[in-house]
A = this chain, B = another copy of it.
Amino acid sequence: MSTRSKTASTQQEGENVENRGDYDPSSPTFRLENSPFYLMAHADFKYHEDMDKVLHKHGVSKPIYRVMTVLREHQPASIGTIAEAALTKRSTISRIIDRMIEQGLVSTESNPEDNRITEVTLTAAGQQTLRKLTPIVGRQFTRAMAGINNRDIAHLLRTLKKISDNLGKLPIE
Contact = CB atoms under 8 A, between A and B. Distances in A.
A45 B83 CA distance: 13
Contacts of A20: 141-142, 145, 150, 153
Interface residues of A, number: 69
Contact of A164 (B36, B46, B135, B170): B46
A163 interface: yes
Contacts of A3: none
The A contact surface, by secondary structure, is helix
B33 A167 contact: no
A6 interface: no
Interface string A35-58: 011011111111110100000000
Question: What are the nearest 7 A-B pairs in CB distance?
Answer: A26-B138, A46-B167, A39-B160, A40-B40, A43-B163, A45-B87, A26-B134
Interface of A: 8, 11, 13-15, 17-18, 20-21, 23-27, 31-34, 36-37, 39-48, 50, 69-70, 73, 85, 87, 134-135, 137-139, 141-153, 155-157, 159-164, 166-168, 170, 172-173
